[in-house]
């Protein structure tokens, strides 16, 4: 049965309804026959549509291992997992966690309360608990934090035939069997062979003779974004993780990398819009407002600084009222160019494209671009003012301010996030609205400063 997108949705709704019916009728066989045939992701979708009571029946129908298979694909936040787990018998819940992919299990255990964590760990299979405990030491956003320890490693003295036989045995419980890692007796990573190469190779050859010795690996402490870059560059399906003594400790698979790329891009994106990253389209208006409010209140205060500053220029404004008509265009254009520079800097920092040596070059490039675009926009606005108002001095003030503030805005947009990053401050603070508001203040100071200088000619 082919399940292309169009008929999948219709068909899926039917399947869901029958499964819910079976749960309510407590029909174990009927339920399992259909449910176990679904992809884990689809199982998860159905699970999430169930009532608490139906979920409880499902736990009776399935083993913790079977539940863990679709728990792995739910991709919930840790607190949402916690909410689900709280309603399940602790021993059963512990077994679900233990049977999940270790990287996912660790994410959950790291987020729930210490008390609950220490309840679950002793209730798991000992082997799972040991692996999970060892993974819990790594930072969340590093290679160690996203790797799994379920890796297939073989030794170089095996023949291809032996390796295939071994693979047959371990395949069911390994997350990724398409790369086999060759280790020496001290568990140092000595080579790699893909299952593709293994299949093509002669059965009697030694692994040591057919493996690739140049293995690209990452360190446990490497940032997840760097890891993603390597996997994407090399078109890998997985990359091995080594510790500081080059022992093989785990593997990071393509599906985890896709999530990293998605997640990191989302973070950059949210920062540019001045939002928290945990917004969801299913939030209510009140939830959305609550998440955005801290930012917006902060920006209101910053905006009041602008208002307070402008009130010093009340005299200037009173004498040449037309000046206020250009406040929005000057602050707006400074905001636009500043945001563009900020976007380049944020992206460059998070993809690692901006190195220490290239920072000054980038700032210079942005300043140059700010100057050129400021000059062009300044000329345009000068001509418009001449035509509309026949006020050359006003034209000079507005276009001069535009040129200066667009140049400064590019520098602010580039340098602030780079400095923050260097100082180790979470550059999330250098978000779009913050930079824009800062540029507002500076651009208006330039504007009124210039206006005051030319005041005599304006009257």
Alpha carbons 398 and 62: distance in angstroms, whole number: 72
To its own copies, the closest distance from the beta carbon of 214 in angstroms equals 6
Site residues for its own copies, 155-214, by CB under 8 A, read: 164, 167-168, 171-172, 177-178, 188-190, 195-196, 199-200, 213-214
Tell the smallest beta-carbon distance from residue 303 to its own copies (Å): 3
Show contacts with its own copies in window 120-159 (CB under 8 A): none
Cα gap 24→60, rounded to integer Å: 12
Instruction: Say how far residue 398 (Cα) sits from the centre of its chain.
Output: 41
Smallest gap from residue 108 Cβ to its own copies (A):
17
Give the span between the Cα atoms of 423 and 10, in whole angstroms: 54
Between 112 and 260, name the residue whose CB sits nearer to its own copies. 260
Nearer Cβ to its own copies (99/242): 242
Task: Among 193, 404, 432, 442, indicate the residue that binds its own copies (CB under 8 A).
Answer: 432
Please choose, from the candidates 396, 402, 401, the residue with its C-alpha nearest in 3D space to the C-alpha of residue 383: 396
435 contacts 339 by C-beta, under 8 angstroms? yes
Q: Two tokens at 141?
A: 């956003």
Pick the binder of its own copies from 162, 369, 391, 420 (CB under 8 A). Answer: 369
Which of 21, 41, 118, 125 touches its own copies by CB under 8 A? 41
C-beta closer to its own copies: residue 2 or 29: 2
Contacts of its own copies in 261-280 (CB under 8 A): 261-262, 265-266, 268-270, 272-275, 279
Q: Which of 197, 445, 443, 196 lies closest to 312 in space, CA to CA?
A: 445
Q: How far apart are CA 140 and CA 272, in angstroms?
A: 23
* CB-CB contact of 398 with 323 (8 Å): no
**Rounded distance, CA 41 to CA 3, Å?**
14
**Residue closer to its own copies (CB basis): 17 or 212:** 212
Size of the site for its own copies (CB under 8 A): 137
Which CB, 89 or 184, lies closer to its own copies? 184
Shortest Cβ distance from residue 324 to its own copies (Å)? Answer: 4
Q: Which of 353, 360, 386, 429 binds its own copies (CB under 8 A)?
A: 353
Q: At 332, which helix (H) or strand (E)? A: helix 327-351
Q: Which is nearer to its own copies, 88 or 428 (CB)?
A: 428
Nearest residue (CB) to its own copies, 21 versus 168: 168
The footprint of its own copies on residues 44-103 (CB under 8 A) is 72-73
Touching its own copies, residues 402-431 (CB under 8 A): 402
Shorter beta-carbon distance to its own copies: residue 250 or 348:
348
Q: Which is nearer to its own copies, 26 or 315 (CB)?
A: 315
Name the minimum Å distance from CB 253 to its own copies: 8
Residue number with CB closer to its own copies (57 or 373) = 373
Window 222 to 261, contacts with its own copies (CB under 8 A): 222, 226, 228, 230-237, 242, 246, 254-255, 257-259, 261
Judged by DSSP in three states, 115 sits in: helix
Smallest gap from residue 317 Cβ to its own copies (A): 5
CA distance 203 to 200: 9
Asked whether 349 and 427 are in contact (CB, 8 A), the reply is yes
SS3 state at 426: coil
Buried b (16+ CB within 10 A) or exposed e, 200-210: ebeeeeebbeb
Task: Determine the Cα–Cα distance for residues 332 and 339; give it in Å rounded to an integer.
Answer: 10
CB of 350 to its own copies, least distance (A): 11
Q: Is the Cβ of residue 61 or residue 326 nearer to its own copies in the bound state?
A: 326
Least Å distance, CB 455 to its own copies, is 15
User: By C-beta, is 78 or 261 nearer to its own copies?
Assistant: 261
430: phi then psi, degrees, rounded to nearest 5 = -80, 50
* Residues 281-310 close enough to bind its own copies by CB under 8 A: 281, 283-286, 288-289, 292-293, 295-297, 299-301, 303-304, 306-308, 310
- Residue 30 phi, psi dihedral angles, 5° rounding: -60, -45
d(CA 131, CA 92): 19
What are residue 31's phi and psi, to 5 degrees? -65, -55
CA dist list (Å): 276 to 85, 268, 444: 26, 11, 29
Minimum separation from the CB atom of position 292 to its own copies (A):
6
Q: 303, 306, 373: which is closest to 341 by C-alpha? A: 373
Site for its own copies in 313-352 (CB under 8 A): 314, 317-318, 321-322, 324-329, 331-333, 335-337, 339-340, 342-344, 347-348
Distance, CA of 413 to CA of 343 (rounded, Å): 8
- With CB under 8 A as the contact rule, the residue among 365, 393, 396, 428 that binds its own copies is 365
């Amino acid at each position: 049965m082919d399940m292309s997108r169009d008929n999948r949705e219709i068909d899926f709704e039917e399947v869901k309804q029958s499964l819910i019916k079976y749960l309510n009728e407590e029909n174990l066989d009927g339920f399992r026959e259909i449910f176990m045939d679904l992809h884990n992701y689809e199982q998860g979708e159905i699970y999430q549509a169930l009532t608490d009571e139906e979920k409880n029946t499902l736990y009776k129908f399935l083993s913790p291992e079977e539940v863990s298979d679709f728990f792995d694909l739910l991709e919930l936040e840790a607190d949402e997992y916690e909410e689900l787990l709280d309603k399940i018998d602790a021993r059963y819940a512990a077994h679900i966690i233990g049977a999940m992919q270790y990287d996912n299990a660790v994410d959950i255990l790291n987020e729930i309360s210490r008390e609950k964590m220490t309840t679950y760990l002793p209730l798991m299979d000992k082997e799972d608990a040991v692996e999970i405990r060892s993974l819990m030491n790594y930072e969340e956003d590093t290679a160690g934090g996203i790797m799994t320890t379920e890796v297939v490693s073989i030794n170089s003295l095996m023949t291809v035939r032996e390796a295939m036989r071994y693979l047959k045995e371990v395949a069911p419980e390994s997350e990724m069997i398409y790369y086999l890692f060759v280790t020496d007796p001290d568990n140092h990573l000595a080579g790699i062979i893909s299952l593709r190469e293994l299949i093509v190779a002669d059965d009697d050859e030694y692994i040591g003779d057919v493996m690739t010795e140049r293995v690209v690996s990452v360190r446990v402490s490497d940032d997840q974004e760097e890891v993603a870059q390597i996997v994407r560059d090399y078109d890998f399906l997985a990359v091995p993780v080594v510790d500081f003594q080059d022992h093989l400790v785990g593997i990071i698979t393509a599906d985890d990398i896709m999530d990293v790329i998605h997640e990191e891009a989302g973070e950059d994106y949210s920062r540019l819009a001045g939002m928290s990253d945990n917004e969801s389209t299913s939030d209510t208006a009140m939830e959305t407002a609550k998440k955005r409010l801290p930012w917006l209140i902060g920006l209101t205060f910053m905006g009041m600084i602008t208002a307070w500053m402008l009130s010093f220029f009340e005299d200037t404004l009173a004498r040449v009222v037309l000046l206020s008509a250009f406040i929005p265009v000057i602050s707006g254009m400074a905001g636009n160019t500043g945001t563009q520079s900020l976007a380049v800097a944020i992206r460059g920092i998070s993809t690692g494209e901006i190195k220490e040596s290239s920072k000054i070059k980038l700032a210079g490039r942005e300043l140059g671009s700010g100057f050129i675009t400021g000059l062009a926009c300044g000329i345009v606005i000068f001509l418009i003012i001449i035509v509309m108002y026949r006020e050359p001095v006003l034209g000079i003030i507005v276009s001069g301010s535009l040129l200066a503030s667009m140049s400064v805005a590019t520098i602010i947009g580039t340098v602030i996030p780079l400095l923050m990053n260097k100082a180790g401050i979470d550059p999330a603070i250098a978000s779009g609205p913050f930079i824009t508001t800062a540029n507002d203040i500076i651009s208006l100071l330039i504007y009124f400063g210039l206006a005051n200088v030319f005041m005599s000619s304006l009257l």
